[in-house]
Structure 1
Amino acid sequence: MRLGRTSRLAVAAALAAGLLSAFQAPAAADPAVAHYSSQVKNDGADVYYPAGATGRLPVALLMQGAKVHRQYYSDYAEAIAAYGFIVVVPNHKRLVFFDSDYYPSQKMPAEAVEWMDAEDVRAGSPLNGKIDTDKLVLLGHSFGGAAALGVADGSCGIPFCTTLGYTRPSEVKAAALFGTNNKLPVFGTFASMNNGIPVQLLQGTVDGAALPADAETSYTKLQNGPKQIVRIAGVNHYGITDVQSPPGAEAETSTQTVTQAQSIETTARWAALFLKAQLGDAAAAQYVYVTGDAADPGVTVTSQTS
């Protein structure tokens, strides 16, 4: 039977709708996000979590960029939390090369694990009995992302680690790092990394501080899978902060060509779904490894799944 033009258009529209549905990212678990203040070891911290979530949730530790106050990650943290994570954003202030400011270190994941264990049983905690204390994932920005790469590698290097050795906590399962590379600042070389956990690099194509070419080289230096690099069109170094060039941080020289809301949404979606995929979410894995690249015109993606 031949279909008339109207019928053919209806069938085509139905097929297109079905194809689009297949490509769509899994929705945020709970778009309503609550927030409270806490303390992780000696660091004041902001905690974001899905307000209506039931059961136990994994924790995502956000390791800030150099000199960026934690308050400027509120939109990004909320966006990640909506996908079903407890997002913890500490202000980690310490001395680095005679400068006392916000500089993440590799000891932060171990301190976050201590916080998880204590907060899950603390009377009066909004998260009492809701924390999956066996699952910690890492979010990183710039300097904080570089520190997280050291965690992934299980190695100790100044200025991210100041002890004689380093052991990654077993609770750390994966990392999604924005504006991050492992280029050595003095020598300009890139070290090979034996990443013991899955690592995703999220890189703005107009980043003027952490250059896109350096992220590409760093991706090749990750020796183990799974790994992924997500190139986000029109986004610069501060694409995940609430404002461009947050006060106190180094200024960005490259202009972002998409809105801040767009860059935060895109980056948070890819980071959250990559992390969920590593924790066993099949729908998230389908998106980040199979359908997402074609469905999202704002990114290009390269992955290694093993």
Structure 2
Amino acid sequence: MKRIIVALAVAATTVIMTPASAEAGPYPAGYETTVRLYNHTIYRPATIPAGVTVPVVVWGNGACRADGTWFENILTEFASHGFLVIANGRPGGTGSTDADMLTDAIDWAVAENGRVGSKYRGKIDTAKVAVMGQSCGGIEAVEASDDPRVDTSVFWNSGLLSDLENYRLARLRGPVAYFTGGPDDIAYPNAVDDYGRLPGGTAALLAHLPVGHYGTFAQPAGGEYGRVGSAWLKWQLKGDQAARATILGLGNDTQWTVTSTNLG
């Protein structure tokens, strides 16, 4: 499938927007970079309609790799549903990332929402924040989730590597979701173990799709992961009841194996 990319240099921002030919959401979406958050890639609707504010989603890449477009398909899908998605790393970047970069992304979104002259001024719902990550990026997400601004956390094909880190699970804020690639996913036992150690009363989902460690991220719109991830975000950050029904209905979908606690 061909994709048209339009690049436009505007002051300190490079805008690279792509048409939403594959995405399921209502907004054409793509990504951009800015010197104000130099080591990140920002996915957003091409146009944020008047009167609409977009919740914030920050993303840590697998392998803690500083390539902000490695998960382009699924992150563009999330943005197409009306979210500002900020990934660690520049487009095609190299090197490694850390959990502090996720906090930096939240800081930037809050600052831009209030900065005079920012195109995002008044357009970001900074009271609604999700932290996500895949594999090593999921571990970064666990670390960053103790930020009091975080409302929900999602860990893809991920779990803590050492019991010495289990104390971090008590610091998770809001509803939590673990999505794995099933028993063939190298992170499967870690995710199951973490889920079992969550504090009592935590609203949590543990969902397995038999697709292995690399999931469906590279499929158009992120494949099945894109569908359920978007539904989780719309439910948790926008109160979307159809999205809630999608998540709560996963247990009736034969391709998924689901456990949940305190989800209503």
Structures share a fold, TM > 0.5?
yes
- Structure 1 equivalent of residue 85 of structure 2: 87
Match for residue 153 of structure 2 among 163, 167, 175 = 175
Which structure would you say has the larger Rg?
Answer: 1
Letter in 1 for 2:132: L
1:118-137 alignment runs, 5 A limit? 118-122=111-115, 125-137=118-130
Structure 2, unaligned runs of 5 or more: 1-22
Aligned residue number for residue 287 of structure 1? 246
Matches within 5 A, 1:187-202: 191=166, 193-194=169-170, 195-202=172-179
Cα distance between partner residues in 2 of 1:265 and 1:127 = 29
Unaligned ranges ≥5, structure 1: 1-26, 93-99, 155-167, 243-259
Q: 2:224 aligns with which of 261, 266, 270?
A: 266
Determine if contact 2:178/2:206 at 8 Å carries over to the other structure.
yes
- 2:134 matches 1:141: yes
The alignment partner of 1:66 has SS state of helix
In structure 2, give the amino acid aligned to 1:299: W
> Higher RCO, 1 or 2 (CA under 8 Å, sep at least 6)?
1
8 Å CA contact 1:273–1:285 kept in 2: the answer is yes
Confirm or deny: 8 A CA contact 2:58 2:106 kept in the other structure.
no
Aligned CA distance change for structure 1 residues 40 and 199 (closer, same or farther; 3 Å) = farther
Q: Equivalent residue of 1:146, what SS? A: helix
Give the distance between the partners of 1:110 and 1:228, measured in 2 at CA.
Answer: 24
- 8 Å contact from structure 1 (residues 175, 275) kept in 2: no
Among 189, 199, 202, the residue aligned to 1:225: 202
8 A Cα contact 1:205 1:231, kept in partner = yes
Distance 1:190 1:90 in 2: 22
> 2:189: which partner in 1?
213
CA shift digits 1:110-160 (9 cap, x unpaired): 3223211232245665534311122211110111111222333x3xxxxxx
Code of the residue aligned with 2:166 in structure 1: it is: A
Partner Cα separation in structure 1 for residue 118 and residue 213 of structure 2: 35
Report if the CA contact (8 A) 1:176-1:275 is conserved. Answer: no
Q: Shift of residue 206 of structure 1?
A: 5.6
The answer (yes or no) to whether the contact 2:59–2:141 under 8 Å persists in 1 is no
State the distance in 2 between where 1:284 and 1:179 align.
Answer: 22
Q: Percent identity?
A: 26
User: Contact (CA 8 Å) 2:59, 2:102: kept in 1 or not?
Assistant: no
Cα deviation, 1:45-92, whole Å, max 9, x if unaligned, reads 221112344310101001112253222111111111122211111219
State the distance in 2 between where 1:58 and 1:226 align.
20
Superposition TM-score, scaled by structure 1 size: 0.66
- TM-score (ref. length: structure 2): 0.76
Change (3 A) 1:126 1:33: farther
Residue in 1 that maps onto 2:95: 101
One-letter code aligned to 2:250? G
SS in 2 for 1:286: helix
CA RMSD of aligned residues (A): 2.8
Taking a change above 3 Å as real, the CA distance of residues 283 and 241 of structure 1, as seen in their structure-2 partners, is closer
Instruction: Describe how 1:43-58 pairs up with structure 2 within 5 A.
Output: 43-54=38-49, 55-58=52-55
Q: Describe the SS at the equivalent of 1:62.
A: strand
Aligned length: 231
- How has the CA–CA distance of structure 1 residues 226 and 80 changed in structure 2, closer, same or farther, with 3 Å as cutoff? same
State the distance in 1 between where 2:251 and 2:112 align. Answer: 38
